[in-house]
Amino acid sequence: MTTPTLKLYDFVDAHRRIGAFIRHTPLIPSRYLSRLCRADVWLKLDFLQPTGSFKVRGALNKLAGLKAGQTANGVVTASAGNHGLGLAYAAESLGVEGVTIFVPTNTPRAKLEKLARYPVTVHQAGETYEEAHQAAETFAQETGAQYVSAYNDVDIIKGQGTCGLEIMLGLPTTDAILVPTGGGGLLSGVALTAKAVNPGTQIFGVQPAASPAAKLSFEQQQPIDPYHHAPTLAEGLAGGFGSLPFYLARTLVESILLHSEDDIQRAIFTLIQQEQLLVEASGAIAIAPLLQAGHPFAGKTVVCILTGANIDTSLLTPILKRFE
């Protein structure tokens, strides 16, 4: 495939385009993690975006770039929840009508309830993101609706990369950024922006061991999408790693770090107990590497991107009981 060349000005332009509709989210120091890790640890609170997820960035940039004729038959996407919410918010903000969203049947209730607040049509299809994706593509072919990928799209990647731009504007001496990784839109966008500002910044993807598509993609030197994953609390990170993110980021990412479901639960608990932050599994995983013995981040300035807050409250009681 032909890989586009993205420069820093592409992300600056995307930030200008979506700036009126997003929050420039806080970048705060974590005294607890800094002392624990003997490092200078910062948390990028991107779960404070309007829908509770960073996904609004890419969705806004994509829809803002579409012409009226491209959305004449509506817009359709597949999502584990947060991308759908981002697209719903972007459509409402930009006056785009006829949004249809396909989600898996196991989509967390918190995300479904939020989607119900927007004037969009939601279909539950299949037990995995890939099955929902296939249903959405079929819908697009049958209706002529504009399909919007959750991650395998250059305008989505430009939008997600604005998160990295904000990090580097606030902390240009960052040594390492820990990025929750699923399809790769955020990982590639952050890698491109961070490296453009400071080539010495290392980028680490963090992924559930139940769905290691990004790690396998880099090891096998080809994108693996779709990927049939095991069950995981971090459902927003489950599935394949996109071809476009792979080719954009393959020389920019230090490594992909895998974490167990136990690690993810501990990360959720730690953020609640030590930082009073309620973060869903797909976002809390960013701090999981720092909770491991022998991590490589001592003495470094590290930023963890906390990407989403749309957690089902039914998950909290067992997690709190377990770790207390």
Q: Give the pLDDT of residue 79.
A: 95
Kindly state whether residue 3 falls inside one of the protein's structural domains.
no
Q: How far apart are CA 302 and CA 134, in angstroms?
A: 38
In the chain, the percentage of residues whose pLDDT exceeds 90 is 95
Domain of residue 221, CATH code: 3.40.50.1100
Do 158 and 240 sit in the same domain of this protein?
yes
pTM for the whole thing? 0.96
Q: Give the pLDDT of residue 313.
A: 87
Q: Which residue segment(s) compose the domain that 307 sits in?
A: 8-53+153-323
pLDDT bin (cut points 50, 70, 90) of residue 275 is very high
Mean pLDDT of 25-31: 98
Q: Give the pLDDT of residue 3.
A: 84
Q: Give the pLDDT of residue 2.
A: 77
Mean pLDDT of 95-117: 94
Q: Is the pLDDT of residue 50 over 70?
A: yes
Residue closest to 205 by CA, chosen among 133, 294, 299, 304: 304
Q: Is the pLDDT of residue 1 over 70?
A: no
Examine the fold and report which residue of 127, 147, 167 is the final residue of a domain before the chain moves on. 147
- Spatial CB neighbours of 216, under 8 Å, sequence gap ≥ 6: 224, 227, 241
Q: How far apart are CA 33 and CA 275, in angstroms?
A: 9
pLDDT bin (cut points 50, 70, 90) of residue 68 is confident
